[in-house]
Structure 1
Amino acid sequence: MNKQKYFPYLFLAPALILFALFTVYPIIASLILSFQRMEQGEYVFVGLANYARLFNDSIFTSALTNTFIIFIFQVPIMIFLALILATALNNQLLKLKGFFRVSFFLPAVTSLVAYSILFSIMLQDEGLFNNILNMVGLSSIPWLSDPFWAKFSIIMAMTWRWTGYNMVIFLAALQNLSTDVYEAADIDGAGKIRQFFYITIPQLKPVILFVAILSTIGTLQLFDEPFNLTGGGPGNSTMTLGLYIYESGFEYFDFGYASAIAYTVVVLVAILAFVQFKLTEEKK
């Protein structure tokens, strides 16, 4: 009879072994690697040298700055648009709700590489976007060759892809909210805009926090868009932390330094998540 209590662990063993092999081991190994450097074909322990090197690395500084610029602008815009769309699609009077929900969610299931290449084609000097601008009498914009517009292009592409994904999360939360509060607000004469800011957003605060943390993690790991759209250029103006980790590890084979950058990103995510928790914490 005592042996039977171990049976559940036998069923869990395959998943636990795979988790340990492909998740736990790489995390520990990369952490150890961040304190090492390749010298004469062998990894040697160098302490905090890889982390100290970050402070004198101008490319890392550019990557950190670019990542935070994209984060500061893209995440709030995307969350706000997702909230607006979710609120609009939750309206009982709206026709063809299923069609609109699927349409806005479709970008989220598009291949990252495919949609990045599609945007790179549309953003070329003679691409779709500039053709539309020329048709209405405006000058062409150097979307991918100007530092400002290159960042703007990445923000625009990310917003197009991820707004619908977050919209679905907000929509699921909205459908679980009680309608009594909205009915009372209608009786008191509160308009839809006031209801949105004073009823919907406060009630969705935990969900907004969840989406904000997910978006923060995704932005600090940003790789596909700058890699496929700009390659980190022009002049490292769109170099991100994720792209720099890739270049350090798989182009220059400096895996110890790449691991140090990766764990710096982990620390930044933890700090930003803590700040977001504090900012949305209920005051007693």
Structure 2
Amino acid sequence: MAVDVTERETGAGTAARAGAAPRRWWRRSTPWIFAGPAAALLVFFFAYPLVAGFYQSFTADRDGATTWVGIAQYRRMMSDPVFWAALRNTGLILIVQVPVMIGLALLLAFGLNQSWLRFRSTFRIAYFLPAVTMLVAYSVVFRVLLKTDGGLVNQMLTAVGLSEIDWLNSPGWARLALIGSITWRWTGYNAVILLAGLQTIGREQYEAAAIDGAGAVTTYLRVILPQLRPVILFCSVTSTIGTLQLFDENYVLTGGGPGNATMTPVLYLYKVGFEQLDFGYAAALAWVIVVVIGLISYAQFRFFGRDSSR
């Protein structure tokens, strides 16, 4: 009798374990079921194009067939004058535009953070609005404003007795127009981010600096700016990446001209890939742009992201 009871208990336990195993398997698989669609999209729309583009940078289309050419596309890039002109143009824009924009954004953030300023919310919205304007739309507006014949800017210049400027057909003025348009669009965006950083600094620090006899300028330079360092670094890195990826503004404003004066690597990549249909060389250009962005971003974090207290 005892044997029968033991056998029944053993059989019941085996059946329970057999029924519990599928439930435990289902429990373990649930996260993958929910993450599966996102993972599939990541693989098909990010990982696969990334690997395929890297492979394509070592190939070339010859007589309608894709041929492996090794590093020939990268060697070609080293002797490509348009590519080097695009890098020089981007470097010039980067050196001039990013510091000017961050400086203006800091001034705006300091102004918008003043307690005595009325309608602060209205001003914040007004300064942030350019950042939500469509890239092509605002570039077209700037193209109309900067027209040599009949443009509003030249009309204003002639109204005060100055001569007209050929903004978009002169290399120097075209670069200046491009820098001005980018600065107009992104200064308010960075100002709002810096303002958020300013508002995390307690009023007691301003009061302590005032008790120590520090003026407004000294307080901002010695107390406020060091604490804004991570926010300033973030704005600088994102602005640098945006400048290195510059495409819409110069494509609409100048088309990369005159004489490649406003050509940038991404615009050159577009022209090579979608106008000349040289996809192997375009893929090589894309990977070089990725490496350049990574190196510059690393350098910014390495040299400007150190803790000043160390």
TM-score range, shorter chain: over 0.9
Please give the alpha-carbon distance, in whole angstroms, between the structure 1 residues aligned to 2:29 and 2:216: 57
Q: Match of 1:282?
A: 307
Please give the alpha-carbon distance, in whole angstroms, between the structure 2 residues aligned to 1:26 and 1:76: 35
Q: Match of 1:166?
A: 190
The size of the alignment, in residue pairs, is 284
Q: CA deviation at 1:191?
A: 2.1
Q: Match of 1:198?
A: 222
Q: What 5-or-longer segments of structure 1 have no aligned partner?
A: none
Deviation >3 Å, runs of 4+: none
Please give the alpha-carbon distance, in whole angstroms, between the structure 2 residues aligned to 1:220 and 1:162: 14
Please give the alpha-carbon distance, in whole angstroms, between the structure 2 residues aligned to 1:79 and 1:9: 43
Corresponding residue SS for 2:66: strand
Please give the alpha-carbon distance, in whole angstroms, between the structure 2 residues aligned to 1:98 and 1:142: 38
Q: Match of 2:115?
A: 92
Residue among 85, 102, 113 paired with 1:79: 102
Please give the alpha-carbon distance, in whole angstroms, between the structure 1 residues aligned to 2:232 and 2:49: 31
Q: Match of 1:32?
A: 55
Matches within 5 A, 1:43-54: 43-54=66-77
Q: Match of 2:231?
A: 207
Asked if residue 14 in structure 1 is aligned to residue 54 in structure 2, the reply is no
Q: CA deviation at 1:121?
A: 0.3
Corresponding residue SS for 1:43: strand
For residue 34 of structure 1, what is the amino acid of its counterpart? Answer: S
Q: Kindly report the root-mean-square deviation, in angstroms, between the aligned alpha carbons of the 2 structures.
A: 1.2
The answer to which of 146-155 and 75-84 deviates more is 75-84
For residue 85 of structure 2, what is the amino acid of its counterpart? Answer: S
Q: Match of 1:268?
A: 292
Q: Match of 2:3?
A: none
Matches within 5 A, 1:59-78: 59-78=82-101
Matches within 5 A, 1:113-124: 113-124=136-147
| Length-normalised TM-score, structure 1 | 0.97
Determine which structure has more spread, i.e. the larger CA radius of gyration: 2
Please give the per-residue CA displacement for 1:216-239, whole angstroms capped at 9, x wherever unaligned: 111111001110000111111111
For residue 47 of structure 1, what is the amino acid of its counterpart? Answer: G
For residue 69 of structure 2, what is the amino acid of its counterpart? Answer: V
Please give the per-residue CA displacement for 1:1-57, whole angstroms capped at 9, x wherever unaligned: 243122122111111211221112111111111111111112111111111111111
Q: What 5-or-longer segments of structure 2 have no aligned partner?
A: 1-23
Please give the alpha-carbon distance, in whole angstroms, between the structure 2 residues aligned to 1:195 and 1:45: 61
Residue among 241, 246, 251 paired with 1:217: 241
